[in-house]
Amino acid sequence: MKFEIADIHSSWRRYNPYPTGGSLVGDRYVIRQVTMLDLIRAAYGIEEPHILGGPMWLESKRYEVLAKAPKGATNADLQPMLRALLADRFKLVVRADTKAMPAYLLLVGKGEPKLKKADPSEQSGCGFRAPSPQPAPAVAGSTPPDMTAFCKNATMEQFAQLVRYNLPYPVVDKTGLKGNWDLEFHLAMPPRPDGLTVADALKGQLGLKLELGTAPLPVEVVESVAEPSPNSPDLDKLMPPVNQEFEVAVIKPVPPHTRTNVQVNGHQFSIGGGTMQFLIMYSYDVSEAALVDIPPWFLTTRFAITAKIPVDPAAKNNNVDMEDVKAMLRSLLADRFKLKVHEEVRPEDGPVLVAAEPKLKKAVDTEIRPTCGNGPGPDGKDPRVANPALLRLITCQNVSMAEFAEAFSSLFNYRIPVVDGTGLTGRYDLQLVFTGDREIAAATAASVSAAAGGPAGADAASGVSDPSGAISLMDALPKELGLKLVQKKEPVPVLVVDHIEETPTEN
């Protein structure tokens, strides 16, 4: 089974470039703001770190895919159809393999494990539920657990998959325990500093332990890939654009203090108390700074909108695609407020990465795909363990400074792309560990409050390193990498308001 036709095109640079969609809406498969790594992950059901090889653009360029599924297709058919699409349009060739990768090893601790043999007649399964009335005691200094993880009549391999919850690496069963078991342990969910960790819960309650190591795990190696081939010239005939207008919409002015909220209830869409600035930012997905040439009333006059999303009576399902809804909102603003906008590029102060006193390590393996991401590298070492005040870790392998600058823009959601001005050549492995500005500001305010014996001050400086061991991003760059960011004029895309009426046409 294959998609009948597909529209594949590059995504525009959004303020929040996160993937959306990924399921069938009627007979249409829609997935937006995705990298090629996202598409391979969806097609092959494999985690991103286990996709090896290929050029760096696999994780930087973003696409939108809108494809028409054949009659009778379900979400269960999507993976093979997506694999065929990637092979056809991206010329993707991958090879299944295994490689030693970072993993948590599930082992038997000292002494006998506290496990119960299962009744083979019971149904097998694992999951989470509220804890029993008398849960196992928490470790000293922690709060009582608020969730129970359990398996009934399950193998240790199945239990290892449950244990994986919220851990950065897969869990591999190395207990050597055969047969089926009944197991449960209590912990805090979501994990928090004052609650039981998974490792502590396993050790104290089941006599099992987790150790970070390596294990042979399945990987997909990208052997060849290309930019997508052009869409069919008959695309609009073979897959007509979906209706991008609400069936009916009511717009009413509301008091200035009305709270802004967005709701979708079935096929009814509503916005309460939205300023025109908010309505345009939401529908076009632009930041406040990227919306320019706006009149003063954009910030004060508020509207409530209630609209009906059209339903396709022939579709098997009518899941609401919020990107279609945003397109309908744009059409509504153009129709009822006579909104006209255009995109252009204007010079604005932008960040440039420069070399101060470089402290960069040459790449160990220049054959692997250049990559940057959150969390530890392949060795699993995490410097945040030694200093809990450091909350973020960026790891890059085999990157040029231009690639690092591009990844930096994406990782920190810079509206203005970071430009490489280091003048450095070569490829590098690097790590950057730091604390976010908000966390530093909160810690500083708390420290000031404790010293003064009063409420947290409102003048805590964001981005200033804290005595607790926290360090801001701007301090970490020169300290750890010998780099820094400076500001200079750079061309930036903006959305310009050409015309709009302050009062909408009548309902």
Q: How far apart are CA 409 and CA 55, in angstroms?
A: 18
DSSP 473: H
Do 18 and 125 fall within a single domain?
no
Tell me the percentage of the chain whose pLDDT exceeds 70: 85
Residue with tokens 């009916």: 248
Report if residue 502 sits inside a domain: no
More confident residue, 453 or 410: 410
Return the amino acid letter for 482.
G
pLDDT of residue 318: 60
d(CA 409, CA 60): 10
Q: CA 82, CA 37: separation in Å to the nearest integer?
A: 13
pLDDT band at 179 (very low <50, low <70, confident <90, very high): very high
CB 239 within 8 A of CB 287: no
Tokens encoding 278: 């908010």
Same-domain check for residues 330 and 448: no
How large is the average pLDDT for residues 70-86? Answer: 93
Give the angle 295-281-22 at the CA atoms, nearest 5°. Answer: 165
279 in a domain, yes or no?
yes
Burial category of 72 from C-beta neighbours within 10 Å (exposed 0-12, middle 13-18, buried 19 and up): exposed
Residue range 6-39, pLDDT digits in tens: 999 988 666 666 788 888 877 889 898 899 999 9
Positive or negative torsion for Cα 278, 280, 285, 291: negative
Determine the average pLDDT of the residues in 481-489. Answer: 90
On the question of pLDDT at 134 being above 90, the answer is no
Q: Are residues 88 and 124 in the same domain?
A: no
pLDDT for the residue 173: 95
Domain count, the chain: 4
Arithmetic mean of pLDDT, 355-375: 86
CB 314 within 8 A of CB 242: no
Q: Is residue 228 part of a domain?
A: no
* pLDDT tier at 199, thresholds 50, 70, 90: confident
Residue 435 has pLDDT above 90, yes or no: no
Same domain, 113 and 209: yes
The DSSP letter of residue 194 is T
**497 within domain boundaries:** no
Contact criterion met (CB below 8 Å) for 292 and 497:
yes
Please say which residue of 285, 313, 337 terminates a domain: 337
Of 459 and 170, the structure prediction assigns the larger pLDDT to: 170
358 and 481 both lie in a single domain: yes
**Per-chain mean pLDDT for the chain:** 84
Residue 53 φ then ψ, to 5°:
80, 180
Sign (positive or negative) of CA dihedral 40, 44, 47, 51? negative
More confident residue, 104 or 195: 104
Q: Is the pLDDT of residue 142 over 50?
A: no
Residues 77 and 138 in one domain: no
List 106's β-bridge partners, or say none.
173, 210
Least confident of 137-146, 302-311, 337-346, 358-367: 137-146
Q: Answer yes or no: do 399 and 451 share one domain.
A: yes
pLDDT grade, residue 3 (50/70/90)? very high
With residue 236 as reference, give the H or E element that holds it.
Answer: helix 235-238
**What's the confidence (pLDDT) of residue 373?**
83
Q: Are residues 272 and 196 in the same domain?
A: no
pLDDT of residue 454: 47
Amino acid 274: pLDDT: 93
Q: Is residue 236 part of a domain?
A: no
* Residues ≥6 apart with Cβ < 8 Å to 442: 456, 460
Cα separation of 183 and 128, whole Å? Answer: 12
pLDDT of residue 16: 62
Give the β-pairing of 63-68 and 28-34: antiparallel
- CA proximity to 316, closest of 108, 61, 23, 7: 23
Which of 337, 372, 396 is the endpoint of a domain? 337
Are 385 and 297 in the same domain? no
Q: Is residue 478 located within the same domain as residue 423?
A: yes
Residue 485 sits in which domain range? 348-491
The contacts of residue 209 (CB under 8 Å, 6+ apart) are 106, 107, 108, 109, 199, 202, 203
Q: Is residue 496 part of a domain?
A: no
Kindly indicate the confidence band of residue 56, based on its pLDDT and cuts at 50, 70 and 90: confident
Query: Which of the two residues, 169 and 379, has the higher pLDDT score?
Result: 169
**Least confident piece of the model among 104-118, 350-364, 421-435, 440-454:** 440-454
Q: Is position 176 within any domain?
A: yes
Residue 469 resides in a domain: yes
> 3-state secondary structure string, 39-60?
HHHHHHCCCHHHEECCCHHHHC
Are 209 and 199 in contact, with CB atoms under 8 Å apart? yes
What is the rounded distance in angstroms from the CA atom of residue 371 to the CA atom of residue 219?
16
Q: What is the Cα–Cα distance from 103 to 378, expressed in whole angstroms?
A: 10
What are the pLDDT digits (tens) for 393-408? 899 988 899 889 888 8
Domain boundary (310, 337, 364) is at 337
pLDDT score for 48:
82
Dist. CA 267–CA 321, nearest whole Å: 10
If residue 486 lies in a helix (H) or strand (E), which one and from where to where?
strand 483-499
Please provide the distance, in angstroms rounded to a whole number, between the alpha carbons at the two ends of the chain: 46
pLDDT score for 471: 87
pLDDT tens for each residue of 297-330: 999 999 999 999 987 665 555 667 788 889 899 9
Span 61-75, average pLDDT: 91
State the Cα–Cα distance between residues 82 and 418, nearest whole angstrom.
Answer: 33
Q: For residue 431, what pLDDT band results from cuts at 50, 70 and 90? A: very high
Residue 359 sits in the same domain as residue 331: no
Q: Which of 76-80, 146-150, 489-493 has the highest mean predicted lDDT (pLDDT)?
A: 76-80
Predicted confidence band of residue 457 (pLDDT cuts 50, 70, 90): very low
Tell whether 316 and 441 lie within a shared domain. no
